[in-house]
């Protein structure tokens, strides 16, 4: 299968196989007008199989969202067809409106206009907790 290289844009590499659509939705790529390639189950020496996303436009990427989804994703910035920068991600200290608190007793369930904020409670185990009620995020 052949997919054209992009000229100016972003390539997200080393996405865990099968997770590219989740990343696509979380980053709001459906709202872009440019070409976006979702490439699934690409052979990888490091990972066995991986997914790749190619976005044919320069845009501001929410690195916190991406780092939260998977800090092992590699972000490649492409300019004039050349790789100009590779960014390594980190687990963000907090995430805003990425997850919703599932605790029915949490104030976020009733207070209008309140952001759903989660903070990194345990880096090693990648545990995030609600800022308001400390309920743990149950990852899908």
Partner 1 sequence: MKYLIDPMDLSVEEIDELIDIANDIIKDRTRYQDVCRHKILATLFFEPSTRTRLSFESAMLSLGGNVLGFSSASNTSASKGESVSDTISVVSSYCDIIAMRHPKEGAPLVATRRSKVPLINAGDGGHNHPTQTLTDLLTISREKGRLDNLTVGFCGDLKFGRTVHSLTKAMSRYKNIKFVFIAPPELKIPEYLKHDLLDAKNLDYKEVETIEEVIEDLDILYMTRVQKERFFNEQDYIRLKDTYILDLKKLEKSKSDLIVMHPLPRVNEITTEVDDDPRAKYFDQVQNGRFMRMALILKMLGLENEVER
Residues forming the site for partner 1 (CB under 8 A): 103, 105-114, 121-122, 127, 130-134, 136
**Closest separation in Å from C-beta 117 to partner 1:** 10
Which residue lies nearer to partner 1 by CB, 34 or 107? 107
Sheet holding 117-122, edge to edge: 94-96, 117-122, 127-130
Which residue lies nearer to partner 1 by CB, 74 or 109? 109
Which residue lies nearer to partner 1 by CB, 60 or 110? 110
**Closest separation in Å from C-beta 126 to partner 1:** 13
Q: Exposed e or buried b for every residue in 4-26, given b needs 16+ CB within 10 A?
A: eebebbbbbbbbbeebbeebbeb
**Closest separation in Å from C-beta 113 to partner 1:** 8
Is the distance from CB of 65 to CB of 41 less than 8 angstroms? no
Query: CA 45, CA 37: separation in Å to the nearest integer?
Result: 21
């Amino acid at each position: 299968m052949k997919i054209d290289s992009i000229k100016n844009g972003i390539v997200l590499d080393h996405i865990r196989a099968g997770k590219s659509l989740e990343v696509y939705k979380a980053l709001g790529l459906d709202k872009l007008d440019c070409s976006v390639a979702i490439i699934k189950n690409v052979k990888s020496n490091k990972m066995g199989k991986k997914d790749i996303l190619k976005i044919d436009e320069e845009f501001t990427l929410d690195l916190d969202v991406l780092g939260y989804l998977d800090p092992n994703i590699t972000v490649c910035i492409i300019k004039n067809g050349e790789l100009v920068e590779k960014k390594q991600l980190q687990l963000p200290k907090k995430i805003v409106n990425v997850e919703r608190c599932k605790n029915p007793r949490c104030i976020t369930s009733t207070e209008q206009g309140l952001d759903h904020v989660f903070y990194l409670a345990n880096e090693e185990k990648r545990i995030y907790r609600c800022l308001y009620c400390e309920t743990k995020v149950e990852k899908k």
